[in-house]
Structure 1
Amino acid sequence: AGFTGGDPIVLEYERTSRGTEPVWMPDDDDGFTLRNVPVFLRWVPTRTTTRPVGYVLPPAMASVVPLLLDHDIAVYRFRAPATLDAEVYYATEVRQDEYFQGHYLKSVEVEKRREQVEVAEGWYWIPTAQSRANLISYIMEPETDDNLITWGWTDHVLEVRPATVAEAMARIDTTGMSAERLERVRERVRERIEEGQRVPMIRITRYQPMPVARMQPFNQYQRNRYYLPY
């Protein structure tokens, strides 16, 4: 990833043929015959984004830190407040998909906004200039198919909400509401949907001075604990 980021991260891909190759295929005589067949083992990116220099996470995402440390990902913690130029994702729709391996898998539709983010002491910094750069971006980017949102690590932050005003209003008991009050409720619902929900994995696209210290696992037997070296 380097110190400046900028290389592509694959968000979506498709499987295509890498050509025709000789492959042993089963035949009707319970044996095998060598045949030339198309082999679909080539994955081609169809949508990418650029890799940031790192991601900042709020303290609400502290439960992810042991997971990152277990994968030998360097994690730093802010020891003083900072104001950072950042790219922030807002979820315009959060979907609850299939049930798989004990989880209701989630997916989101997002829009990206550039903002000045006020980072407080205790936030986390995960730079991409390390050996696990691809893994970091794959789990931090909300539009990949296997990220922290997918597996429920953000369930306490991102809610499954109605995607339209009509869906939201259908869940509200409007019995006895005056026309004026009903319109106010509808407007509040519309504003909430348009505002979106801030995704807690925030992109930093250029290096900026940060008052951080690297975190260390407490010990191999208590991986859910960690400390700041002083």
Structure 2
Amino acid sequence: MLGLLFAFLFQLFQISELPKTRAEISNFTETSTYSDVITFIEGISKQSEIINSTVFGKSFEGRDLPLVVLSKPKITSPQEAHSSGKLIVLLLGNIHAGEVEGKEAILHTIRKFHSDEKFKKLLNELIILAIPILNADGNEKISTANRPHQKGPIGGVGIRENSQGLDLNRDFTKLETPEITSLVMNVFNKWKPHLLIDCHTTNGSYHGYVLTYATNLNPNGDERIASFIRDELLPEVTEKMFKKYGYRTFFYGNFIDPLDPSKGWITFDHRPRFGTNYFGLINRFSVLSEAYAYADFKTRIDATEKFIEEILMFASKNRKKMLKLIKQVDSETSSGKIDSLGIKFQIAGKPAEIWGYKTIEYIDSLTGEKKRKVSDKIELFKTTNFGEFKTVKKRSVPDAYVFPGNFEVVAEKLKQHGIKIEKVKGKFKAKADVFIVDSLKRSERKFQGHNETELFGRFEEMEVEIDSGYYYVQTQQEKLGLIFYLLEPESDDGFANWNFFDEFLIAELKDKGKAIYPVYKIKNKLRR
């Protein structure tokens, strides 16, 4: 009996010694610095039997990017994770370093696996990959001038972009930042997580939810994956969040017209440059978490933390079902039976009732200026939720994409995405769909350092001769949706859009008045 008492007291002592975050220590007036995060991870790792703390890459300024692996028993390699039969969940925080709630919530979640034995039992079904501070450089540029519209922390937060001035959550297709390139190559491709929870904080509308959410919005991801999140996981988590904590949650969006909520509630973009869309495009489960900027800092962290916890509990309970669905989708995607995918998309809406606040327009009696103010009374508005995208135009899926060997940069990007690619050995002829470019249009304003390109033209079927040294990308791969999106000439987020072929195409158009897009869609099986 005395031995049990000592064991209990020892465990209690250990729990009391678990580190606290800067947010907690400061009574939620400050957010954690990079040094705080590393110290927290080191402190908890020293007394942990379930943590493998490692580094998956470096920031643009050279900071180590920490990856915390929680598992029971402790594992040290992706191979051990894959052979475990467990569902691998990635928690991602601070991709925008002004949106710090995920960073703090993920640290709290790591700690809870050490202080709550019931919560720790989730590791019987799950392996957790935790990245609390992806935008490490942006985090260190803390200032009270950043995100002044939100309620705290009064000590300030970091900035949205990384040290290149680029938005990490617009980089998933072009891979121009070391942070996202490392995330894709060293976490997505090596650890192969099944579920992503990506934590953010809102910028937009006043509404009645402490947290909003989304899943993959790109229709080229398998609909069964998105439907599972949208129709099974999120409804259950929504119910738990309200019943257990009193937190209202709903699908992410903003009122199209704050003065008239009946005009609609609209979500964000379908393109895979966004992390949760990218993850869905490779047929994995993804959840976007958006804490409400106008809730106080402590509440935003707590809501994000509780949201993560409820998702993890759902995932643990549904592990077998989720793994079975992924296996089925992967098999079908790589079978060669998918003959077409979307190239143009349109947002779709359906009736909804959404909690929000009236915005009132008035004339300032002193200045005569037209101003707006937000009512403090919450109301339920009947409106339309424009929350999904539908395919309105498709293109055929070829047997393979083939392009000349001098486009090494394109080949290297495909490899970074984890796409299988090989070089042709020996000439051959094949029938192909070839895109004839009549003109191209570049955006007038730069976006993320690019004047995005749109190609105009038509496909023609012709016989092409493929030389030795060409790159060959077979489409019978699990990442078919991503291959299609990156290499199709009309893609709104592919390599053509991001200027990878501009120099070649502009020269050809100038010289010949038209150009052949250098990626051929091979229609017949290659016999080599």
Specify the alignment match of 1:116 in structure 2: 463
Q: Give the drift of 1:34.
A: 2.5
Please tell me the residue identity of whatever aligns with 1:117.
V
Aligned with residue 43 of structure 1, among 357, 377, 389: 389
Q: Does 1:77 align with 2:423?
A: yes
Q: How does 1:2-151 map to 2 (within 5 A)?
A: 2-4=334-336, 7-17=339-349, 19-27=350-358, 28-98=374-444, 99-151=446-498
Specify the SS of the correspondent of 2:501.
coil
TM-score, normalization by structure 1 = 0.72
Q: Which runs of 5+ in 1 are unaligned?
A: 163-167, 169-188, 211-230
Cα distance in 2, alignment partners of residues 125 and 31 from structure 1? 60
Q: Which runs of 5+ in 2 are unaligned?
A: 1-332, 359-373
- Which shifted more, 48-57 or 20-29? 20-29
Please tell me the residue identity of whatever aligns with 2:384.
P
Alpha carbons of structure 1 residues 160 and 122: separation in structure 2 relative to 1, 3 Å? closer
8 Å CA contact 1:73–1:132 kept in 2: the answer is yes
Please tell me the residue identity of whatever aligns with 1:48.
K
8 Å CA contact 1:21–1:38 kept in 2: the answer is yes
Cα distance in 2, alignment partners of residues 140 and 161 from structure 1? 19
Cα distance in 2, alignment partners of residues 206 and 135 from structure 1? 21
Hey, which of these two has a bigger chunk of helix by percent? 2
Specify the SS of the correspondent of 1:208.
coil
Aligned with residue 159 of structure 1, among 496, 499, 506: 506
The CA deviation string for residues 44-91 of structure 1, in whole angstroms up to 9 with x for no partner, is: 221111111110010121111121111110001112111121111110
Cα distance in 2, alignment partners of residues 5 and 139 from structure 1? 20
Cα distance in 2, alignment partners of residues 145 and 43 from structure 1? 14
Cα distance in 1, alignment partners of residues 377 and 507 from structure 2? 52
Q: Give the drift of 1:161.
A: 8.1
Cα distance in 2, alignment partners of residues 41 and 89 from structure 1? 33
Q: Give the drift of 1:31.
A: 4.0
Cα distance in 1, alignment partners of residues 401 and 508 from structure 2? 26
Alpha carbons of structure 1 residues 5 and 57: separation in structure 2 relative to 1, 3 Å? farther
Cα distance in 2, alignment partners of residues 97 and 58 from structure 1? 27
Q: Give the drift of 1:6.
A: 5.1
Cα distance in 2, alignment partners of residues 120 and 91 from structure 1? 22
Specify the SS of the correspondent of 2:355.
strand
Cα distance in 2, alignment partners of residues 87 and 59 from structure 1? 19
Cα distance in 2, alignment partners of residues 5 and 53 from structure 1? 10
Specify the alignment match of 2:20 in structure 1: none
Structure whose CA Rg is larger:
2
Structure with higher RCO (Cα < 8 A, 6+ apart): 1
Specify the SS of the correspondent of 2:454.
strand
Alpha carbons of structure 1 residues 110 and 206: separation in structure 2 relative to 1, 3 Å? same
Specify the alignment match of 1:171 in structure 2: none
Specify the SS of the correspondent of 1:101.
coil
Cα distance in 2, alignment partners of residues 130 and 101 from structure 1? 30
8 Å CA contact 1:96–1:160 kept in 2: the answer is no
Q: Give the drift of 1:32.
A: 2.5
Specify the SS of the correspondent of 1:104.
coil
Q: Give the drift of 1:160.
A: 7.2
8 Å CA contact 1:10–1:49 kept in 2: the answer is yes
Specify the SS of the correspondent of 1:29.
strand
Please tell me the residue identity of whatever aligns with 1:64.
V
Cα distance in 2, alignment partners of residues 142 and 201 from structure 1? 8
Cα distance in 2, alignment partners of residues 5 and 86 from structure 1? 18
> Over aligned residue pairs, what C-alpha RMSD do you find?
2.1
**Quick one: percent identity of the two aligned structures?**
22
Alpha carbons of structure 1 residues 111 and 5: separation in structure 2 relative to 1, 3 Å? farther
